[in-house]
């Protein structure tokens, strides 16, 4: 009966979400922030979850785990589909450099900060010994990976006076590309973690075979999808068969092998989007159009799984990583961004980059439903990791508001002095034209 | 050619993944990951097999079923010659098939809504007498004659094995259940085949109406037979007013609640618009879950019937709020192919081939199958003549009632649970599984032939035919 009430709540929410009033509210700054970040659904998941009304419990989610994997596969494929080969020509070199810098800094600084937080928590009595050094390092790296990139939502930035089209491009396009990198690193991390012993040994051959297998499956299924879409023609039912079948199979294959369904699905997405012809145009459209409901479902799952009692350890990680995030996204990124835009007023844009990518919650949820998340590697369960990532996300969303309050900013306009030019010397349009989706 | 190549490639990739898992790459044993993998595998594999079957003028449904059967555990156990099938790597292990039950529940609700939507009171009013007579003939007439034939067979060969306990009463109960289950046919196949060959006409409409009414009657009679059977065979189970009241409440409650759900759904259709798919899926899950909620009525355990709930919802929507619910039926009609693929593939995977290794059971299976076919032909043919049905389809109508699948398997599962541990019941279940396996695979072939030869196939314009710019190279003939 509980699950029925839970589903009824979901139906009511879906009805609410489809109302005109909700859609107009979404266009406000707060609405854009809350809906694009998925915080509402995280909150709802938490409210109906084990620490709220207790209507939907984690064990209920394990029953529908195939559906959760399907959602992860969908998100992975959507992220992979951003990487069309034309993007290499469209994107200016400065974005690639900046993206590389963000990735390295996030893993090193944020991962290091997480480690620092763990050590600090250990010093005042927290137990981080479970799983040994391997688990501690893995957890730190995971937190670092979750910190890569930023939210691609730009509507709230525009409302804060950031009128520069190039700035939008930078925030959206770099955010999208860093999502791909985040998934790539996450996939490599999960594959490596799968073949790591408690003593810290890594079977390199097994890791390579695992990676090879992942790429082989992704490429084969992507290529086969091309055939299948041709066979399906224009029939709606047949199209759905291919869509559901491919996403389920790819995500399921990844998870069955103990790797990340997000990773293999992303590789397939890259393969699919780069195949010639327009066979996949409809496929791509549907995948992108359904981003919101699929992402919302994952946020809901994250809310249900989130474990609020994070203890000293979680608190330590949160504080250290948040400070690390300010250093990376606000301090270290300032100079390269000023150079790229040839402007000094990049504060608002850096506030935008401060906001955590919604993908981070999908990564944490993917970790939590895997066997790694069921354990207590590094002293934290998957639910606690989700909670830390959610807190980091919320804090980073609140940051721009705090800055407005402290410095009275948000009125300035970043004017377009020169814009960012692509490799052919053409100005890039709004980031949305180059990349789609918010993950 | 591409469909065959894709099917082989899919099998190879699946095998590689399972091989990788066997090599210890999977560290996530508690994860239900294989269920997602299996969902993808069966939906793609069943669809591709259906395409290949379509090329050789066989029903796609048979392709879906055959794919499920070949990928399922029973086939591997048969090859391996043991109960585990460990010497051969199964694509769909037995535990995995059980995990796919949620897909089946969802599919049954969706199919029942569709079937309900096909029942139009306006048409039914004019044909009520015909439908009622045909239904009674197909259930009571066919069941009684099959029972009489099998009683004769019982006296010679002993189709109900009472060698390890039980007497004449056991034989009567067993034969009654056997005959009743043998008289049933699959509403899922009925609706899916009409959709597959886009049939319309008196025979397909009559088939649907009779199948749905039959299903209702068989479910009621089955509940009564099981209750009475348990009452007379088990001293601890009493049959009385409470039992009959519980059955009545379950059936009427399902119909009334289903109708309410249907009206609510129809009202919501206009509001949901872009989220219609979401609404349909959630409602189907809810209907399936309602069936799982057990309660006690006058000392009897009871639960509502998801099939009836969904059927009733479909009937209510189509007949009371036809305009409001039209987008929903359009959606279900055009987007339910993945559900059919999964449902029939899972039904195929559930078929048990082990019965065919026992010569005694095989003899009984063949006897029941032949008796069923013969009796259907004779009884339905005779009744059809009395009812003065149109000659163009009267002689073929009985073939439409031959397929069996999901509902029959569900009844067999209930039978196995009701008489758990009793030897005669175990043998009867094995026999029935064999009968269903044959009718599931061959029934759709006969049904399709009847629809095509009566001229009722391809009467409804397909979605792709509406698109004038469809690439002709994408027609089935050139794809495979």
> How many other CB atoms sit within 10 Å of the CB of residue B126?
9
Question: What whole-number distance in Å separates Cα of residue B29 and Cα of residue B168?
Answer: 49
Reduced to 3 states (helix: H, G, I; strand: E, B; else coil), residue B296 is strand
Number of domains composing chain A = 1
pLDDT tier at B479, thresholds 50, 70, 90:
very low
Provide the pLDDT for residue A266.
Answer: 93
Question: What whole-number distance in Å separates Cα of residue B324 and Cα of residue B327?
Answer: 7
Provide the pLDDT for residue A46.
Answer: 87
Tens of pLDDT, residues B354-382: 878 888 788 888 989 999 999 999 999 99
Distances B445 to B88, B400, B442, B451 between C-alpha atoms, Å: 30, 10, 5, 10
Residue A361 C-alpha, separation from nearest chain B C-alpha, in angstroms: 19
Residue of A nearest to B462 (CA): A235
Residue of A nearest to B28 (CA): A371
Question: What whole-number distance in Å separates Cα of residue B295 and Cα of residue B101?
Answer: 22
- Above 50 in pLDDT, residue B473? no
Query: Is the pLDDT higher at B98 or at A142?
Result: A142
Provide the pLDDT for residue A398.
Answer: 81
Q: Would you say residue A363 lies in a domain?
A: yes
pLDDT tier at B135, thresholds 50, 70, 90:
very high
Provide the pLDDT for residue A235.
Answer: 82
Which residue segment(s) compose the domain that A255 sits in? 65-434
**Partners of B158 in the β-ladder:** none
pLDDT tier at B47, thresholds 50, 70, 90:
very high
Number of A/B CB contacts below 8 angstroms equals: 197
Provide the pLDDT for residue B136.
Answer: 94
| Window 164-203 of A, Cβ < 8 Å to B | 194
Reduced to 3 states (helix: H, G, I; strand: E, B; else coil), residue A344 is coil
Mean pLDDT over residues B101-130, rounded? Answer: 81
Half-sphere exposure of A176 (CA within 13 A, CB side): 27
pLDDT tier at B30, thresholds 50, 70, 90:
very low
CB contacts of A8 in chain B (<8 Å) are 286
Q: Per-residue confidence of chain A (439 residues) as pLDDT tens digits?
A: 555 565 666 666 655 665 667 767 766 766 766 666 678 888 888 888 888 887 777 777 776 778 888 999 999 999 998 888 888 887 777 778 888 888 898 889 998 998 888 888 888 877 766 667 777 888 888 889 988 988 877 666 665 555 566 667 777 778 888 889 999 999 888 888 777 766 667 778 888 888 888 899 999 999 898 889 888 888 888 999 999 999 999 999 988 888 888 999 999 999 998 988 777 888 888 888 877 778 888 888 888 888 888 888 888 899 999 999 888 888 888 887 777 777 766 777 777 788 888 889 888 988 888 777 666 666 788 888 999 999 998 888 887 777 766 655 544 444 444 444 544 444 444 444 455 666 6
Query: Is the pLDDT higher at B410 or at B57?
Result: B57
Residue of B nearest to A371 (CA): B28
Mean pLDDT over residues B160-184, rounded? Answer: 84
- Above 50 in pLDDT, residue B28? no
Q: Would you say residue A29 lies in a domain?
A: no
B338 touches chain A (CB under 8 A): yes
Mean pLDDT over residues B211-215, rounded? Answer: 85
Q: Note the CATH number of domain B105-460.
A: 1.20.1530.20
Q: Would you say residue A313 lies in a domain?
A: yes
Average pLDDT, chain B: 82
Percent of chain B past pLDDT 90, that is, above it, reads: 25
Provide the pLDDT for residue A82.
Answer: 86
Residue A214 C-alpha, separation from nearest chain B C-alpha, in angstroms: 9
Considering CB atoms only, which of B29, B336, B463 is closest to A371? B29
Provide the pLDDT for residue B232.
Answer: 76
CATH code where residue A108 lies: 1.20.1530
Which site among A1, A3, A61, A248 would you substitute to test the B interface, given the most B Cβ atoms closer than 10 Å to its Cβ? A248
Residue B273 C-alpha, separation from nearest chain A C-alpha, in angstroms: 9
CA torsion A171-A176-A178-A184 (nearest 10°) is: 180
Residue A59 C-alpha, separation from nearest chain B C-alpha, in angstroms: 12
Reduced to 3 states (helix: H, G, I; strand: E, B; else coil), residue A48 is helix
Using a 10 angstrom Cβ sphere, with 0-12 exposed, 13-18 middle and 19 or more buried, the burial of residue B334 is: middle
Mean pLDDT over residues B434-442, rounded? Answer: 90
Q: Which range has the top average pLDDT, A191-200, B178-187, B268-277, B409-418?
A: B178-187
pLDDT tier at B470, thresholds 50, 70, 90:
very low
Question: What whole-number distance in Å separates Cα of residue A78 and Cα of residue A97?
Answer: 23
Query: Is the pLDDT higher at B294 or at A118?
Result: A118
The token duo for A302 is: 């994250």
Tens of pLDDT, residues B312-325: 999 999 999 999 99
Provide the pLDDT for residue A162.
Answer: 55
Question: What whole-number distance in Å separates Cα of residue B290 and Cα of residue A204?
Answer: 50
Question: What whole-number distance in Å separates Cα of residue B9 and Cα of residue A55?
Answer: 43
Q: Would you say residue A47 lies in a domain?
A: no
Q: Which range has the top average pLDDT, A155-169, A350-364, B140-154, B232-246?
A: B140-154
Which site among A258, A292, A373 would you substitute to test the B interface, given the most B Cβ atoms closer than 10 Å to its Cβ? A258
């Amino acid at each position: 009966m509980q699950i029925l009430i839970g589903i009824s709540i979901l139906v009511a929410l879906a009805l609410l979400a489809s109302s005109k009033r909700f859609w107009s509210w979404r266009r406000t700054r707060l609405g854009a922030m809350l809906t694009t970040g998925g915080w509402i659904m995280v909150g709802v998941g938490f409210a109906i979850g084990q620490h709220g009304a207790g209507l939907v419990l984690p064990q209920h989610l394990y029953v529908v785990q195939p559906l959760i994997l399907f959602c992860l596969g969908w998100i992975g494929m959507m992220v992979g589909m951003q990487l069309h080969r034309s993007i290499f020509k469209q994107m200016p070199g400065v974005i690639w450099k900046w993206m590389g810098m963000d990735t390295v800094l996030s893993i090193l600084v944020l991962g290091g900060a997480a480690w620092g937080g763990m050590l600090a928590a250990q010093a005042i009595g927290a137990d981080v010994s479970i799983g040994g050094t391997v688990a501690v390092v893995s957890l730190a790296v995971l937190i670092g990976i979750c910190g890569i990139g930023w939210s691609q939502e730009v509507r709230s930035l525009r409302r804060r006076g950031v009128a520069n089209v190039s700035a939008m491009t930078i925030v959206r396009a770099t955010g999208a590309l860093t999502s791909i990198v985040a998934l790539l690193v996450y996939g490599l991390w999960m594959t490596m973690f799968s073949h790591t012993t408690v003593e810290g040994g890594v079977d390199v051959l097994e890791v390579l075979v695992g990676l090879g297998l992942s790429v082989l499956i992704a490429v084969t299924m992507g290529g086969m999808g091309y055939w299948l879409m041709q066979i399906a023609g224009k029939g709606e039912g047949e199209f759905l068969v291919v869509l559901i079948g491919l996403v389920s199979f790819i995500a399921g294959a990844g998870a069955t092998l103990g790797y990340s369904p997000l990773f293999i699905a992303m590789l397939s997405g890259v393969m699919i989007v780069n195949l010639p012809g327009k066979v996949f145009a409809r496929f791509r459209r549907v995948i992108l159009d359904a981003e919101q409901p699929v992402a919302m479902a994952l946020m809901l799952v994250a809310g249900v799984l989130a474990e609020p009692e994070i203890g000293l350890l979680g608190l330590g990680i949160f504080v250290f990583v948040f400070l690390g995030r300010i250093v990376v996204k606000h301090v270290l990124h300032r100079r390269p961004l000023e150079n790229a835009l040839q402007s000094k007023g990049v504060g608002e844009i850096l506030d935008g980059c401060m906001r955590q990518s919604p993908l981070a919650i999908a990564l944490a949820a993917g970790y939590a439903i895997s066997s790694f998340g069921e354990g207590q590697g590094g002293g934290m369960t998957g639910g606690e990791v989700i909670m830390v990532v959610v807190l980091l996300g919320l804090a980073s969303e609140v940051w721009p508001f705090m800055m407005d309050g402290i410095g009275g900013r948000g009125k300035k306009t970043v004017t377009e002095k020169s814009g960012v030019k692509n490799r052919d010397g053409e100005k890039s349009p709004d980031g949305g034209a180059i990349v789609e989706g918010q993950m | 050619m591409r469909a065959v190549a894709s099917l082989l490639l899919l099998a190879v990739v699946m095998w590689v993944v399972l091989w990788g898992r066997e090599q210890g790459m999977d560290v996530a044993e508690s994860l239900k990951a294989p269920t997602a993998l299996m969902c993808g595998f069966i939906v793609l594999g069943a669809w591709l097999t259906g395409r290949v079957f379509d090329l050789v003028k066989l029903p796609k449904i048979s392709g879906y079923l055959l794919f499920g059967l070949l990928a399922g555990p029973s086939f591997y156990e048969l090859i391996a010659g043991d109960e585990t099938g460990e010497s051969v790597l199964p694509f769909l292990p037995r535990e995995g098939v059980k995990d796919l039950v949620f897909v089946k529940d969802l599919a049954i609700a969706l199919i029942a809504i569709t079937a309900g939507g096909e029942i139009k009171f306006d048409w039914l009013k004019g044909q009520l007498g015909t439908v009622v007579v045909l239904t009674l003939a197909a259930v009571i007439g066919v069941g009684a004659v099959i029972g009489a034939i099998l009683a004769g067979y019982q006296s010679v060969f002993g189709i109900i094995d009472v060698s390890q306990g039980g007497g004449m009463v056991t034989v009567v109960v067993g034969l009654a259940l056997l005959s009743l289950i043998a008289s049933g046919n699959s509403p899922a196949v009925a609706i899916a085949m009409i959709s597959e060959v886009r049939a319309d006409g008196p025979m397909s409409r009559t088939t649907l109406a009779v199948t749905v009414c039959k299903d209702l009657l068989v479910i009621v009679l089955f509940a009564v037979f099981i209750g009475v059977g348990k009452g007379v065979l088990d001293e601890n189970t009493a049959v009385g007013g409470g039992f009959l009241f519980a059955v009545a409440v379950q059936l009427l409650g399902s119909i009334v609640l289903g109708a309410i759900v249907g009206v609510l759904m129809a009202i919501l259709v206009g509001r949901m618009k872009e989220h219609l798919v979401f609404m349909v899926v959630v409602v189907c899950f809810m209907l399936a879950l309602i069936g799982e909620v057990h309660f006690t009525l006058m000392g009897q355990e009871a639960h509502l019937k998801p099939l009836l709930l969904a059927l009733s919802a479909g009937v209510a929507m189509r007949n009371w709020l036809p305009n409001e619910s039209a987008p929903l039926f359009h959606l279900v009609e055009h987007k339910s192919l993945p559900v059919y693929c999964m449902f029939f593939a899972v039904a195929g995977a559930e078929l048990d081939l082990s019965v065919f290794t026992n010569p005694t059971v095989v003899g009984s299976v063949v006897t029941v199958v032949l008796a069923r076919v013969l009796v259907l032909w004779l009884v339905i043919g005779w009744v059809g003549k009395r009812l003065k049905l149109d000659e163009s389809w009267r002689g073929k109508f009985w073939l439409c009632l031959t397929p069996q699948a999901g509902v029959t398997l569900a009844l067999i599962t209930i039978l196995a649970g009701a008489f758990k541990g009793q030897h005669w019941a175990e043998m009867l279940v094995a026999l029935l599984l064999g009968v269903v396996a044959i009718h599931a695979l061959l029934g759709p072939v006969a049904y399709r032939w009847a629809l095509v030869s009566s001229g009722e196939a391809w009467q409804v314009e397909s979605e792709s035919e509406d698109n004038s710019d469809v690439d002709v190279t994408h027609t089935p003939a050139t794809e495979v």
